[in-house]
Amino acid sequence: MEIRQISQGDGRRRRVQRLKRLIVLLVLIWMILPVGLSVILFFRVGALSRQIDETEGYLQQIVERISQQELKAAQQTASRPGRGENIIMVPADGEGGQESLAHGTEEQEAAHKVYLTFDDGPSKYTEDILDILDAYDVKATFFVLGKESDYSIRMLQEIAKRGHTIGMHSYSHKYAEVYGSVEDFSADFYQIYSYILDNTGIQSVYYRFPGGSSNTISDIDMQVFADFLAEQEVEFYDWNVSSGDGGRVLLDVDTLVRNSTESISRHGTSIILMHDAASRPTTVEALPQIIENILAMEDTVILPITEDTTPVHHIHKKESS
Ligand code: ZN
């Protein structure tokens, strides 16, 4: 009886003990589980944020690469293979200058290269000028303005179609607007650049400043605008031979012919200034004689301006020393 009582008491104690252990275990699990989960989540968050960082870096690289490619593409559209390093320096009204021979085709090797350039077009005379050039199978260069009439655009396209070089001569030709500031110049530049591109598909890389780079109208140093053009990889061309058809007085044919041709034999490169303008009828009348006289000269060719053409500049970059 006593033994049974003892064993009964032992049994209860053991059950209580087991229950206690179970409770302790449950409490432990209840405490450890969240801690363990927290630790797991902590590492998971760390790993994920590393992944995010890596992805961000990768995305940034892609974005940079894309923008670099875009930049390169834009530069390629704007850039053209290098043109002649040599530049002929002449005073504004000037003659002469040292020239070096470009190499290339037979034409490029002629001792005297002549470039007929027509400013301010298209005009009502554009077609006449084009027909005369065609008749002598001669290519010229037209520095055009932004004229939006259907006729002007048709003429612009005709100039391109007949194989002549199209250069920019500003959109508005209004000195105050073109030379007001670098921003004004840049805005006008893109206007004439787009006008030519939109209507002909040509990305012109040739520019003639209204009034030439030696004009005395601009209050801003013309070198600033020349630097802007250089940044666009656009070359500007002044002239070293003037027909004289840009003045107030309408010159007669003989004078225009003489002005345009008498100094050619002294130059390696002659860039002749003429105008394609409604107010200059005698230029059209003189053109056949001008061309004939030039073609009759020895070792002399008439060429359109290209990237191989040695530019003629009236202004030059000052040395920084
Ligand atoms: Zn002009």
Helix (H), strand (E) counts: the chain = 8, 10
CB proximity list for 202: less than 8 A, separation 6 or greater: 160, 166, 196
DSSP line for 240-269 = SEE-STTSSS---HHHHHHHHHTTGGG-SE
Stretch 290-315: mean pLDDT: 97
Backbone angles phi, psi at 80, to 5 degrees: -130, 160
User: Average pLDDT of the chain?
Assistant: 86
What gap in Å lies between CA 156 and CA 195, rounded to an integer? 10
| The pLDDT of residue 78 | 43
pLDDT at 320: 56
Do residues 159 and 122 lie in contact, with contact meaning Cβ atoms separated by under 8 Å? Answer: yes
Residue 300 token pair: 């002399």
**50-54, 141-145, 153-157, 309-313: the lowest-pLDDT one:** 50-54
Strands (E), 1-133: 88-89, 112-119
Q: If pLDDT is split at 50, 70 and 90, which confidence band does 319 have? A: low
C-beta separation of 304 from 164 below 8 A: yes
pLDDT score at 46 = 74
Comparing 198 with 29, which gets the higher pLDDT? 198
Q: How many CB atoms lie within 10 A of CB 96?
A: 13
Q: How far apart are CA 158 and CA 167, in angstroms?
A: 14
Q: Tell how far the Cα of 308 is from the centroid of ligand 1, in angstroms.
A: 24
pLDDT, residue 100, reads 38
Cis peptide, bond prior to residue 288, ω within 30 of zero: no
DSSP strands (E only) in the chain: 88-89, 112-119, 141-144, 165-168, 206-207, 235-236, 241-242, 269-275, 300-302, 312-313
Rounded alpha-carbon distances, angstroms, from residue 197 to 13, 194, 201: 102, 5, 4
Alpha carbon of 73 to ligand 1 centroid (Å): 32
Q: Is the pLDDT of residue 126 over 80?
A: yes
Which tokens sit at 10? 């032992």
Given pLDDT bands bounded at 50, 70 and 90, which one contains residue 101?
Answer: very low
Expressed in angstroms and rounded, the spacing between residue 118 Cα and the centre of ligand 1 is 9
Between 60 and 168, where is the model more confident? 168
39-43, 89-93, 137-141, 179-183: least confident range? 89-93
Going from the Cα of 137 to the center of ligand 1, the distance in angstroms, rounded, reads 25
Q: Tell me the pLDDT band of 148, cut-offs 50, 70 and 90.
A: very high
Q: Distance, CA 266 to ligand 1 centroid (Å)?
A: 26
Q: How far is CA 153 from CA 150, 165, 196, 262, 281, in A?
A: 5, 15, 9, 35, 21
What is the reported pLDDT for 299? Answer: 96
**How much is the average pLDDT of 107-114?**
87
Q: What spacing in Å lies between the alpha carbon of 170 and ligand 1's midpoint?
A: 8
Q: Is the pLDDT of residue 144 over 90?
A: yes
Tens digits of per-residue pLDDT, 194-231?
A: 999 999 999 999 999 999 999 999 999 999 999 999 99
Evaluate if residue 190 carries a pLDDT over 90.
yes
Contact 275, 141 (CB under 8 A): no
108 Cα to the center of ligand 1, angstroms: 28
Cα of 292 vs centre of ligand 1, distance in Å, is 25
Taking the centre of ligand 1 as the mean of its atom positions, its distance from the CA of residue 69, in whole angstroms, is 38
Which pLDDT score is estimated for 97? 38
| pLDDT tens-digit map of 251-274 | 999 999 999 999 999 999 999 999
Confidence band of 58 (pLDDT split at 50, 70, 90): low
For the packed helices 182-200 and 222-231, what is the interaxial angle rounded to 10 degrees? 40
Give the per-residue pLDDT at 77: 44
Distance 117 CA to ligand 1 centre (A): 11
Is residue 157 within 8 A of residue 122, CB to CB? The reply is no
- Res 76: pLDDT: 44
pLDDT at site 102: 40
What is the structure's pLDDT at 80? 42
pLDDT score recorded for residue 169: 98
Q: Residues of the chain with pLDDT > 70: what percent?
A: 80
**CB of 237 closer than 8 Å to CB of 246:** no
What is the C-alpha to C-alpha distance for residues 114 and 116, in angstroms, rounded to an integer?
A: 7
